């Protein structure tokens, strides 16, 4: 049952992760994981539907003497108590009543109904007795909730309730209060009383959580009149007693302790609950898993399973209701609950009726009487007989009678069907023959309607007679067969021959032509012989086919098949079957032709016989008429009254009659002529019959040959399949051998890696120990070696951190412990199984942690979104002007929540996939391996498990000792840092006597109680963290430099007198600002620049120099000495007159290598490894502000002149800074597409090397020329950001390696042209049209690729230059999409940077060796080179006046291009280094 979502879950933005398949009892968890049960109830299911569907029939079964159980299982807050109905809320309605109140009502209404029905039928009313028990299992102690003398507060006292098992295996308890119930209200009241006595407490998952298992039991005893069969008429009334018990089980929550947040007593309760549920799960697994075939079921592991022994696999009808939550926050609990219930579904209980012994004996006797009466009737009827040996059995007469009855019924159906067919055929034949006779008469000219009717009546009569004749012949044949059968059975001869007695019946109705009958007889004999041979061939082929099928079944285990040979054999078999079918069809056709000829001959003989009889009859009639005429004439002549007239009259009368007779005779003679003509055709029919006979003979021979060929082909196919299966088995054996070798090599490789890792850790540990001589490290290996641990005399760093179960080989001692091959294989299989289990659990734990983190983040963002919406609703009424920013923030939060939901769904899908893999692995359980071990192998396995356990315990002890040691070092470091901070503060107090500003600052620090509030700006006028906007000069807001004369003085005070705490969080902007001290008095300006004055003040021997020894300067002082950067002019250099570039200035201020830069005509932005970005004023040559708080190196920086925003990249984050009013971080963009309001890295005090899970390193960013799109190289793809909304809109994909660099240009159609270079050596081009979103593929892939990863790109118009780690530079044509030129060794090291000189056809390239080269764009020839830095050059950028280079020497140099100078390289060197490879 899936409960509805709670209001709290909806507010916190929880999504529904379950769904129900319509019309099927199936629930889907996540995207596609399906679980099938007997019933599934969705969110909107009412209580009544659940009761009617599941529990109602169990109550009805109790009246018939069957036990029943209803279990409610699930996590806390899933609705178990609500479903069972033990909550008893005062405000609950009748529709919301649970299972137990409805079952009580159903029980008592059923009792009343049965009493009323018995009275209406005149029987004695049944007697019922109802009793109830209510038990609570709390901390593995059974408590009686009906015990009024029990103190509810004393729950830890041992209970006196015992569990017993009777002789029949049923479970019962002693010491439990059993209350006799008389009415429904009384039972409800008892249930309420017990429910209120249950142990409940508040947890994080539920305000009122059940902390114990509750079992409410109803016992029903019923005495009723026995239901007797009608045959057993007994004079007295008999009674039977039925008993039944109904368990209602409300289990406690199944969630884990970390979800409930339980501690102390609640934690102990949770552990006890989980122990009981674990035992219940083991019982369910033992009963439900049919593959294990477990003999022992651990009922005694817990009192819960012991109490429910009847319900699980015993005498009870059991329903388990799994209550689950639909929210994705409870995904893991829901998954575990569904898996738990899925195992329980496989249990099969054995249910019998619970009767008292008397009732059982009466029922058994009654059944025995009925059985004996039935046997007696069978003996009387002759159905049963007793053999000579005394064995009972059924008589042959009975069996024959059964067979004959079955055959008779079949024949009756056939006769009925055939009679209908005969009638239809007779009517059709009569109609056709009458039509044929009418046509013949019409041709002869004698046809009329009367003759046609007469002929039709004759034909009908002929057909009827023919039918009767056929029936007589078939009856005669059957009588002859029966007579022959009787004659063969009779031991004595009869008085007369049966053939002679039936001679009259067997004689034909009329003689037929001898030759025709002989032909027909031979045809019949040949056809019968052919049919018999065909049946024999079919039986043989059927047997062969069965053999073939058996062989195929035996060989079906082979996985691979040879498709070509199979197809040929199958094609031949199909051809043979087709030929055989054709032969059979032709034989049937010939048979039909022979039958038709025989029928036509029979009809001709019958017609001939009838016509001859009629002709003889008519001739006799004519002769009699003539004789009568003569006699009459003679009599007339002798008569007295003879007159001529009377004689003529009589004569005319007779002549008339003679004429009619002659006419009839002529007609019959014509018919006789037609019949004679038909008889003449008889020879043709005989020829056709002989021809058909010959054809049948040929077909028979062809069929025999075909069957023989089929047998030969089947034999060949069987041999080929046997050979193929033998080859497949050989290949499988070879594959298994290779797999074993691979696993052995992998194991050897893992051992070597472990040894190498240990040695590396040992070297690192020794280096650390040598670098910190004041911290001696104990030799754990020596200490442990003294105590007798073999093979562990090694340092702590040697211990492998692999989890238990990794494939680690343990040391072998002596030949007695040598593994046999079988034992070694079993040990390896156990190791692999344990390793797989550990890895799966670690993966699932990590995924659960990620999911919980995402859920907490979603809750925070949801609450923030709700707060912003409330604020927006207020502003709509008060101040509608500020709604735009609020709407943007709400939209950003919504996008982030959607992204988090997608991430949660991905985690859930991964967990489901791992669970499916886990289920597949469970099929090869370790218990199977262990159970198949011999005693010696089991001892060896146990010895290895003991060694592994000792080794893992030793590793744990070593790691704990190492952790304690590191914690001690950390505490010592904190103490040292605190003492140094106090020393610095004392020195600053001494210095503050002459500086009122510093004194006020220290006073503010002491008042605030935190070091973080003392941080002041390294710029002038305004704190860099945004404390007040008035302090920022107007020129900075416009992008220009400062002109205030007090800037330098304030910077001097701020930089030379500020104190630095040990806590690195002082670099972050404080939450509250303070008023900066007043400006110092005006002093005459020194000619030196600010950086010179700052360094000179440091060199004058202030108190700061004596705080810490010079060998270990504190980090804060080192930062102060370089806190504010300046741009110093540089004098003439050695190659100034010949070099094409001249260095004019140098910007210093970063403490670590400068990795990236960007510049306009007035501002310069630099990013460094010191996790900061500096903003420089190129007009004044001073640093304006420092953008800090990055988690790691700043690898890319871009400034958008259209919006005044600065984008900095560090690890997987892009920080968006607004420098128009104050240098504050307004948004943080992540590589995965999230948008975080404010500075997401504000809490980062230490360097973060690794990225958050799900994020990727961002290597470079680029802006399109219009400033509307930002492109970020993230992993193997480039994410597109729309700057107007700061939302991700798409992704550029296609690389198989990380994208290292990218550049953006604009096409003639105003589309963005993005060029990317990757570690996969390829350069790809993407054209982004307006409105394109989603996943975008490349429009072109440049070939051939570089020989190594791409480090830099530069684009101008249709020309693209690319620099690579292979030291080469390539020139590409974007319009033609082809390579123009390439210089393989343009530099001696990696080409790290490329840039175009504005306004000139020159391109710059810089390498990791510090060299800068100038190339002509058109000819791609070198113009000159210069050693720009002594360290690697990391980036180049240009503005309209200068060229900027960033180097690992922590400096940024400003260069001017000097046109028209002679290149500094000799011609000979240029010819070598400048050789370009031109491609067609």
Instruction: List residues forming the annotated binding site.
Output: 74-81
Helices 265-288 and 331-344, interaxial angle, to 10°?
40
Whole-angstrom distance, CA of residue 1015 vs CA of residue 591:
115
Q: Give the CA radius of gyration of the chain.
A: 54
Distances (CA, A) of 113 to 63, 108, 185, 1395: 11, 9, 18, 97
Phi-psi region of 654 (alpha: psi -120 to 50; beta: other; left: phi over 0): alpha
- How far apart are alpha carbons 1475 and 1467 in whole angstroms? 12
Beta strands 162-165 and 1126-1129, pairing class: unpaired
Tokens 């330098």 -> residue: 1048
704, two tokens: 């025999």
Tell me if 606 sits within 8 A of 508, measured CB to CB.
no
Instruction: State the residue for tokens 């211990």.
Output: 799
Q: Which among 471, 501, 474 has a CA at the least distance from the CA of 487?
A: 501
Neighbours of 290 (CB within 10 A): 9
Q: Is the distance from CB of 1237 to CB of 1227 less than 8 angstroms?
A: yes
- Using DSSP bridges, classify how beta strands 1287-1292 and 1334-1336 pair: parallel, antiparallel or unpaired: parallel
Tokens of 497: 């021959």
Cα distance between residue 1436 and residue 699, in whole Å: 96
Phi/psi for 1089 (5° steps) reads: -75, 175
Burial class (CB in 10 A: 0-12, 13-18, 19+), 1412: buried
Q: Which residues are annotated as a binding site for ATP?
A: 74-81
Q: Which two tokens stand for residue 971?
A: 């505490």
Query: In the numeric block, which tokens belong to residue 1168?
Result: 């460094």
Beta-bridge partner residues of 321: 72
Helix (H) or strand (E) holding 449: helix 449-489
Specify which residues 1217 forms β-bridges with. 1206, 1225
How far is residue 169's CA from residue 197's CA, in Å, rounded to a whole number? 31
Q: Is the peptide bond before 1344 cis (omega within 30 degrees of 0)?
A: yes
How far is 647 from 642, CA to CA, in rounded Å? Answer: 7
List, as one string, the DSSP characters of 679-711: HHTHHHHHHHHHHHHHHHHHHHHHHHHHHHHHH
- What tokens appear for 920 in the block? 């597949």
Evaluate whether 88 touches 195 at the Cβ level (below 8 Å).
yes
Q: CA-to-CA distance for 1451 and 1461, rounded, in angstroms?
A: 26
Rounded Cα–Cα distance for residues 686 and 688 (Å): 5
- CA atoms in the 13 A half-sphere facing the CB of 428: 6
Query: Cα angle at 842 between 837 and 847, to 5 degrees?
Result: 125
Which of 1008, 1075, 1078 lies closest to 1049, judged by CA? 1078
Closest CA to 1317 of 1328, 1325, 1308: 1325
Helix (H) or strand (E) holding 425: helix 396-444
**1028: alpha, beta or left? (left if phi > 0; alpha if psi -120 to 50):** left
Q: What's the token pair of residue 964?
A: 């304690």
Please say whether the beta carbons of 1231 and 1215 come within 8 A: no
With beta carbons less than 8 A apart as the criterion, state whether 1414 and 1423 touch. Answer: yes
Please say whether the beta carbons of 1098 and 1068 come within 8 A. no
């Amino acid at each position: 049952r899936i409960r509805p979502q709670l209001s709290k879950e909806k507010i916190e933005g929880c999504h529904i992760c379950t769904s129900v398949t319509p019309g099927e009892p199936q629930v889907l968890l996540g995207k596609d994981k399906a679980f099938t049960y007997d019933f599934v109830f969705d969110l909107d299911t009412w209580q009544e539907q659940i009761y009617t569907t599941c529990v109602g029939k169990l109550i009805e079964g109790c009246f018939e003497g069957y036990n029943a159980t209803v279990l409610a299982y699930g996590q806390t807050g899933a609705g178990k108590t609500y479903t069972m109905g033990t909550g008893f809320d005062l405000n609950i309605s009748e529709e919301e009543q649970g299972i137990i109140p409805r079952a009580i009502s159903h029980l008592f209404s059923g009792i009343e109904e049965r009493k009323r029905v018995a009275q209406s039928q005149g029987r004695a009313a049944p007697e019922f007795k109802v009793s109830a028990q209510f038990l609570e299992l709390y901390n593995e102690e059974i408590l009686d909730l009906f015990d009024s003398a029990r103190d509810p507060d004393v729950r830890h006292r041992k209970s006196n309730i015992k569990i017993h098992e009777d002789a029949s295996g049923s479970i019962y308890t002693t010491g439990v209060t059993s209350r006799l119930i008389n009415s429904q209200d009384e039972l409800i009241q008892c249930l309420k009383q017990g429910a209120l006595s249950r142990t409940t407490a508040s947890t994080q998952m539920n305000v009122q959580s059940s902390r114990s298992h509750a079992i409410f039991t109803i016992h029903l005893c019923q005495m009723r009149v026995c239901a007797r069969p009608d045959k057993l008429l007994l004079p007295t009334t008999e009674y039977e007693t039925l008993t039944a018990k109904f368990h209602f089980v409300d289990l406690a929550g199944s969630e884990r302790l970390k979800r409930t947040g339980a501690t102390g007593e609640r934690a102990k309760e949770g552990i006890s609950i989980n122990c009981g549920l674990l035992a219940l799960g083991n019982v369910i697994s033992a009963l439900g898993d049919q593959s294990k075939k477990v003999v022992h079921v651990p009922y005694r592991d817990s009192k819960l399973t012991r109490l429910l022994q009847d319900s699980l696999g015993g005498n009870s009808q059991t329903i388990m209701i799994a209550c689950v939550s639909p929210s994705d926050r409870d995904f893991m609990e829901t998954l575990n609950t569904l898996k738990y219930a899925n195992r329980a579904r496989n249990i099969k209980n054995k249910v019998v009726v619970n009767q008292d012994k008397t009732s059982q004996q009466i029922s058994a006797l009654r059944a025995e009487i009925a059985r004996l009466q039935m046997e007696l009737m069978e003996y009387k009827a002759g159905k049963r007989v007793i053999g000579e040996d005394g064995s009972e059995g059924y008589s042959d007469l009975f069996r024959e009678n059964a067979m004959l009855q079955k055959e008779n019924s079949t024949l009756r159906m056939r006769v009925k069907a055939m009679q209908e067919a005969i009638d239809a055929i007779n009517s059709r034949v009569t109609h056709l023959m009458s039509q044929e006779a009418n046509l013949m008469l019409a041709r002869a000219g004698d046809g009329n309607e009367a003759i046609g009717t007469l002929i039709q009546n004759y034909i009908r009569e002929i057909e009827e007679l023919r039918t009767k004749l056929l029936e007589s012949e078939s009856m005669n044949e059957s009588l002859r067969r029966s007579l022959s059968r009787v004659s063969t059975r009779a031991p004595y001869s009869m008085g007369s021959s049966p053939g002679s007695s039936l001679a009259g019946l067997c004689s034909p109705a009329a003689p037929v032509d001898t030759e025709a009958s002989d032909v027909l007889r031979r045809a019949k004999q040949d056809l019968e012989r052919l049919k018999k041979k065909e049946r024999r061939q079919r039986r043989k082929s059927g047997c062969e086919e069965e053999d073939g099928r058996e062989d195929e079944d035996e060989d079906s285990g082979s996985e691979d098949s040879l498709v070509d040979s199979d197809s040929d054999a199958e094609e031949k078999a199909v051809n043979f079957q087709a030929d055989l079918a054709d032969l059979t069809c032709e034989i049937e056709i010939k048979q039909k032709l022979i039958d038709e000829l025989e029928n036509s001959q029979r009809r001709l003989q019958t017609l001939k016989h009838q016509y001859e009889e009629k002709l003889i009859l008519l001739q006799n009639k004519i002769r009699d008429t003539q004789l009568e005429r003569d006699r009459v004439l003679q009599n007339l002549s002798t008569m007295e009254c003879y007159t001529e007239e009377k004689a003529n009259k009589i004569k005319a009368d007779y002549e008339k009659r003679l004429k009619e007779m002659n006419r009839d005779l002529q007609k019959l003679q014509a018919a006789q002529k037609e019949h004679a003509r038909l008889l003449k055709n008889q020879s043709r029919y005989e020829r056709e019959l002989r021809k058909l006979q010959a054809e049948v003979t040929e077909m028979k021979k062809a069929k025999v040959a075909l069957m023989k060929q089929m047998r030969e082909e089947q034999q060949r196919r069987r041999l080929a399949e046997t050979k193929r299966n033998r080859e497949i088995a050989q290949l499988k054996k070879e594959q298994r051998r290779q797999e074993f070798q691979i696993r052995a090599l992998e194991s050897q490789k893992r051992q070597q890696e472990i040894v190498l890792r240990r040695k590396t850790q040992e070297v690192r540990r020794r280096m650390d120990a040598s670098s910190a001589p004041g911290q001696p490290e104990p030799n754990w290996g020596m200490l442990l070696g003294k105590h007798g641990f073999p093979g562990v005399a090694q340092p702590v760093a040697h211990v492998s951190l692999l989890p238990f179960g990794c494939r680690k080989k343990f040391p072998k001692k002596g030949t007695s412990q040598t593994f046999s091959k079988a034992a070694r294989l079993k040990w390896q299989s156990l190791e692999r199984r344990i390793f797989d289990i550990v890895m799966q659990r670690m993966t699932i734990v990590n995924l659960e942690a990620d999911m919980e983190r995402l859920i907490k983040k979603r809750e925070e963002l949801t609450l923030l979104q709700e707060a912003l919406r409330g604020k927006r609703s207020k502003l709509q009424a008060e101040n509608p002007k500020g709604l735009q920013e609020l709407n943007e923030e709400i939209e950003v939060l919504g996008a982030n929540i959607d992204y988090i939901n997608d991430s949660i769904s991905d985690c859930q899908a991964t967990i489901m996939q791992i669970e499916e893999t886990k289920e597949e692995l469970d099929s090869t359980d370790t218990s199977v391996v262990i159970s198949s071990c011999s005693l010696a192998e089991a001892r060896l396995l146990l010895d290895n498990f003991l060694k592994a356990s000792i080794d893992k315990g030793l590793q744990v002890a070593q790691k704990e000792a190492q952790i304690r040691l590191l914690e001690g070092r950390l505490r010592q470091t904190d103490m040292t840092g605190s003492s140094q901070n106090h020393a610095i503060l004392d020195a600053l107090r001494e210095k503050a006597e002459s500086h009122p500003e510093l004194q006020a600052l220290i006073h503010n620090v002491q008042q605030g109680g935190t070091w973080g509030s003392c941080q002041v700006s390294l710029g002038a006028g305004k704190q860099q963290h945004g404390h007040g906007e008035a302090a920022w000069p107007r020129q900075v807001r416009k992008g220009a430099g400062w002109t205030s004369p007090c800037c330098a003085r304030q910077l001097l005070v701020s930089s030379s007198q500020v104190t630095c705490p040990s806590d690195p969080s002082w670099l972050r902007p404080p939450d509250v600002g303070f008023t900066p001290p007043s400006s110092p008095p005006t002093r005459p300006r020194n000619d030196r620049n600010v950086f010179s004055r700052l360094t000179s003040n440091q060199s004058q021997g202030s108190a700061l120099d004596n705080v810490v020894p010079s060998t270990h300067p504190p980090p804060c002082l080192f930062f102060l000495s370089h806190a504010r950067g300046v741009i110093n002019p540089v004098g003439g250099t050695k190659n100034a007159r010949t070099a094409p570039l001249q260095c004019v200035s140098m910007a210093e201020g970063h403490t670590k290598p400068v990795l990236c830069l960007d510049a306009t005509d007035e501002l310069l932005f630099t990013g460094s490894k010191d996790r900061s970005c500096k903003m420089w004023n190129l007009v004044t040559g001073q640093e304006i502000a420092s953008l800090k708080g990055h988690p790691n190196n700043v690898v890319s920086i871009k400034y958008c002149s259209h919006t005044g925003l600065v984008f900095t990249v560090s690890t997987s984050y892009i920080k968006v800074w607004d420098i128009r009013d104050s240098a504050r971080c307004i948004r943080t963009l992540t590589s995965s597409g999230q948008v975080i309001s404010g500075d997401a890295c504000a809490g980062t005090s230490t360097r973060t090397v690794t990225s958050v899970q799900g994020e990727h390193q961002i290597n470079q960013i680029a802006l399109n020329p219009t400033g509307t799109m930002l492109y970020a190289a993230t992993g193997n793809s480039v994410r597109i950001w729309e700057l107007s909304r700061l939302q991700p809109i798409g992704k550029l994909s296609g690389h198989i390696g990380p994208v290292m660099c990218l550049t953006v240009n604009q096409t003639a159609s105003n589309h963005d042209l993005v060029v990317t270079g990757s570690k996969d050596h390829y350069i790809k081009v993407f054209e982004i049209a307006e409105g394109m979103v989603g996943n975008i593929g490349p429009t072109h892939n440049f070939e051939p690729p570089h020989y190594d990863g791409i480090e830099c790109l530069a684009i101008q118009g249709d020309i693209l230059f690319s620099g690579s780690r292979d030291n080469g530079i390539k020139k590409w044509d974007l319009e033609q999409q082809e390579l123009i030129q390439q210089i393989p060794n343009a530099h001696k090291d990696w080409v790290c940077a490329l840039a175009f000189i504005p306004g000139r056809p020159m391109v710059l390239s810089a390498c990791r060796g510090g060299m800068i080269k100038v190339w002509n764009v058109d000819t791609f020839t070198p113009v000159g080179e210069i050693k720009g830095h002594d360290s690697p050059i990391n980036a180049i950028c240009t503005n309209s006046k200068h060229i900027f280079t960033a180097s690992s020497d922590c400096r940024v140099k400003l260069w001017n291009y000097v046109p028209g100078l002679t290149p500094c390289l000799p011609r000979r060197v240029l010819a070598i280094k400048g050789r370009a490879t031109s491609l067609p």
